[in-house]
Amino acid sequence: MRTLRLKIADLFQFDGQPPAHGTADAATITSLVLQQFSFLPQPLSVTIEGDDVLISFPEESTTAQAEAARLAQKAGNHAAKGDFSRAIDLLNRALHLQPSLHNARRDLAMCCMETGDIDAATNHLIELLRLDPTDAAHWVVLGNLYLGHRKDPQSAESFLRKAIALQPDNAWALNSLAAIVERNGQHLEAVSLFESAIAAQPSLPNPYYGLAVAFDRAELPDQAAASLIRLFNMGLLQDSRSRAVYDQARRLFVKTQSDLAECQQSAVFKAVLNYRSDTERLSGFPVVIDKDTFKDSTTARTQLAWRHGRDHHLITLRESFPDLLLPHIEAHELTHIQFDSAARAAGRNQLFATNPETRSAALADIAPNVRKLQQAGYPANTIAGFHDILISGLCGLIYNIPLDMIIERHLHRSLTILRPAQFLSTRNMALEALKANTSKDIAAITPRRIHRAVLALNGAYCLSLDTLFSGASGFADPYRQMEHFDTAQQLHQLWLDRADQLEPGDEFSLIDSFADLLGIRSWYTWNPDSIAQAPSSLTQRPDGITDPNLLREKHPAAVRHLLDALIRFDQLTPDQIQAITFEIGRTGQQGINYSNPQRFHHLDSLPGESFSGLELICLLFAGFKRLYPETDTGIDLDEPFLKALELYHLRSGSNPP
């Protein structure tokens, strides 16, 4: 026999008010016990001892208990997978064998809640609490039922406070109570309760999410986002029931990033403007930003000054891209320029290229698909054109994705103010790419080798973003269910192994490693960069400029010309000064002879005037000092410039800075 000892008052918790001391007779108590505990093995024996009641019943056999435990464990596995109907069936069978199995009854109540059978869940929980009213976990489940399903927060709060009184460090009770008090507007108490729940069980995701919701409702998106990052860093995905919390957390993270991007627009604009100036100084060329509609899915295009024979870099952004996210796209393209400049400065730059030989190699690799389309009756020119597009597309991915992984990591670390826009922007593009990559029509006619490589590259890129955002993005999740996701993981690991050791120019070997793993290294080639350095310095040009001793001899005359330039610039706008400076810079690419004092040079930006070579050099130097004071022009005119600057301030009556 087994015996339960309960307080008489507890018998009335769910059946009206308890009687005053001594007013309930033995017959009434016995009748109530027999009614409430009819689910236990029969017959029941009831004994009253003061304020207590003892309930005895036959103990289930050892065989029945073992089978009940097995069925309950099996039910738990089904519940973890979301198969609650099957779990309910197994738990009912377990309780038929062992009605006193507390955990099985609680799990049954929770499964009934999941399937929407709230009355059954309530009944099971009441039976459970009658068996053991001192178990805090039972009160927590009942509190959550009244909060989430019966919409009775007052009763829910009462049940949850009973749970906390029994077990002060019960994370589930603290979390649910925090949600109630937060809804009542008690923000500080809610935050304290959520933090207590986290301290009690750091691996539980719910209080992190609840804390984020509280901060979001208080219009504190930065703290809400930080709480969600803590969730993705510390919480554990336990089963299908906690998966919903992660899904809600990711949706909230998108909102917090949108809110942050909105309120940080001004700071982001300034940061990207400074980043653009850094890029101009590093590369030696100004950057011009333009917009275009783009007929394809292109987000942005960058044309480097030295590859297109221009006096500036040109970044063209997709016009339809949301204005809030454009700073990230601009910063991304600026980083392309920085990396190319750094690789050229290190003498390690290479140019990605395809040619007839690489195209033949690619076509040979996809020959089975060519034959398949031919047999299907597609015209030869249609097949060739289609495959050219696919081959070019994959070559574009194998070049850009490793670079994009490097760039996004660089931006995430160096421009932290940009992170919200970066998250939203990469999310936008990841969703677009996923839509294209999962098109059944495209997959049906795309060579298997190309399709696998495209999925692997996109999956690896999404994994790299998920790493940056601590899993808050979940961009790689759709790819996990796809064929050959293991290849994406290998690419990502290859990237992680090298990420911290990359030097300028190493990005090209990373591209090759990706291509080797995918088996498409023969689909492209590298050409040497024929331009050794960006023409940001005129010290490497012919006709006297390479003679520093001669320039030093010209210092006395240079003082006068530099002073004239400073005075001239007072009457000009920054755009006019820039036009003069860049035009002289272009002239300097062919060489400026400053040993000849004759004025035979002319500038479109200063029509009607003639200049000597030394005058042009002084205008150029003064222009850079006015526009880009941190830029090293490589021209030895610092000493005469300081003297000219002193004369300039004396002339204007101002004090030197």
Predicted local confidence at residue 439, as pLDDT: 79
Query: Cα separation of 498 and 447, whole Å?
Result: 30
pLDDT tens digits, one per residue of 543-561: 344 456 777 888 889 999 9
* pLDDT above 90 as % of the chain: 55
> % helix / strand / coil in the chain, to the nearest 5?
65, 5, 25
pLDDT band at 288 (very low <50, low <70, confident <90, very high): very high
HSE-CB of 121 using CA atoms within 13 angstroms: 23
pLDDT band at 457 (very low <50, low <70, confident <90, very high): very high
The whole-number average pLDDT for the span 413-431 is 95
Tokens representing 229 are: 């990052």
pLDDT tens digits, one per residue of 533-544: 333 444 333 334
pLDDT tens digits, one per residue of 309-342: 788 999 999 988 888 999 999 999 999 999 999 9
Q: Which residue has the higher pLDDT, 589 or 94?
A: 94
Q: Is the pLDDT of residue 569 over 50?
A: yes
Q: Which residue has the higher pLDDT, 629 or 467?
A: 467
* Cβ-contact 179, 147 below 8 angstroms: yes
Q: Is beta strand 2-7 parallel, antiparallel or unpaired with respect to 52-57?
A: antiparallel
Task: Return mean pLDDT, the chain.
Answer: 87
Q: Which residue has the higher pLDDT, 3 or 513?
A: 513
Tokens representing 452 are: 């696998």
Q: Which residue has the higher pLDDT, 486 or 633?
A: 486
Q: Which residue has the higher pLDDT, 377 or 57?
A: 57
What is the SS3 assignment for 325-392?
Answer: CHHHHHHHHHHHHHHHHHHHHCCCCEEEECCHHHHHHHHHHCHHHHHHHHHCCCCHHHHHHHHHHHHH
* pLDDT above 70 as % of the chain: 91
Sheet holding 52-57, edge to edge: 2-7, 52-57, 45-49
Q: Whole-structure pTM over 0.75, yes or no? A: no
Query: Cα separation of 557 and 370, whole Å?
Result: 72
pLDDT tens digits, one per residue of 628-652: 776 667 788 888 999 999 888 887 6
Neighbours of 536 (CB within 10 A): 21
Q: Which residue has the higher pLDDT, 179 or 7?
A: 179
